[in-house]
Structures are given as C-alpha cells and as structure tokens.
C-alpha cells in the first residue's frame, strides 16, 4: 500500500510541475475542450467542433465546426489560438500561475482570444482587460518556461 501511495503522489506531482503549452485538461488532448477556436472570431460565440474536422497544433488536438474553419486555422494558427495556451488569462495575469479555462468565458481584445476560469473570474478580467493583458504578457514567458 505504501508503494502505491508514493507512486500516486509522484504521479500527481508530475502534473503540478509540468504544464503543456496548450491547456487540454488531464484526461484529454482537446484544445478548448473541443470548441472551434475560429468560431469565436467568425460566429462571435463558442461553437463545439466536430470529429470530422481536426488538426494537431503544439501537441494538442483542435476541433472545428467546418472544413472552412479548419483551413482558416491551419493557414494562421497564431491568429486564432487563444492567448496563454488557453489557460485562464486572469490567473496568468494576477496569480502568475496556470489555471484551467472554460471555453464559455471568453473575450476577444484587439483581435486576440482570451479565456477565463469561470463567470466570476471573467467579471474580474472585464474590470481592466488592458492591465490583465499587460501583466499576463509579462508573466507568460517565464511561466511557460518553468515547465
């Protein structure tokens, strides 16, 4: 039993120490929980992607609602991928740390997509997005290099 507990502790701590560049959750490889990142820009809302339209980018699987959105992403992934790898933008800004993000709590600011943890955190983000972007932009390079 002791060996099992030690193995489990080491297994869990490895998740705490290493973060992927793109947030996918622990048990999935889906960026944005399978939502179509291009749809935020074209449809102005979160839209679930389809198993028919998938590509790999930065080690994650990206799902799209249409072939057109898939092709748009493949042509310019940096334009459509969320900032800070899809992690919570407020957490990167204020906590200088990683946190999951909900694809339904989003904003586009100056042509860039930002995701946040939940409605409450999104309201905090909305109080001063320019400040949060400035802080997160400063924190992100060091934070992602800690992995």
82-138 pLDDT tens trace: 999 999 999 999 999 999 999 999 999 999 999 999 999 999 999 999 999 999 999
Tracing tokens 């898939």 back to the chain, one arrives at: 70
Whether 55 and 106 map to the same domain: the answer is no
% of the chain with per-residue pLDDT over 70: 87
122 within 8 A of 111, measured Cβ to Cβ: no
Euclidean distance between CA atoms 54 and 110, whole angstroms: 27
Q: Do residues 38 and 90 share a domain?
A: no
Same domain, 71 and 131: no
> Can you give the residue range of the structural domain that contains 70?
21-77
pLDDT tier, 16 (very low <50, low <70, confident <90, very high otherwise): very low
88 and 108 fall within a common domain: yes
Q: How many domains does the chain have?
A: 2
Q: What are phi and psi of 12, to 5 degrees?
A: -65, -40
> In terms of domains, do 90 and 72 share one?
no
């Amino acid at each position: 039993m002791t060996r099992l507990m030690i193995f489990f502790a080491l297994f869990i701590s490895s998740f705490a120490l290493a973060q992927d560049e793109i947030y996918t959750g622990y048990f999935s490889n889906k960026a944005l929980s399978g939502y179509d990142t291009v749809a935020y820009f074209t449809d102005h809302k979160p839209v679930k992607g389809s198993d028919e339209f998938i590509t790999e980018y930065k080690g994650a699987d990206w799902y799209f609602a249409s072939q057109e959105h898939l092709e748009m992403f493949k042509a310019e992934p940096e334009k459509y991928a969320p900032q800070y790898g899809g992690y919570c933008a407020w957490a990167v800004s204020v906590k200088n740390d990683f946190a999951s993000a909900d694809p339904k709590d989003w904003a586009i600011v100056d042509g860039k997509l930002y995701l946040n943890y939940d409605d409450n955190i999104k309201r905090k983000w909305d109080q001063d997005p320019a400040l949060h972007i400035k802080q997160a932009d400063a924190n992100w390079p060091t934070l992602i290099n800690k992995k």
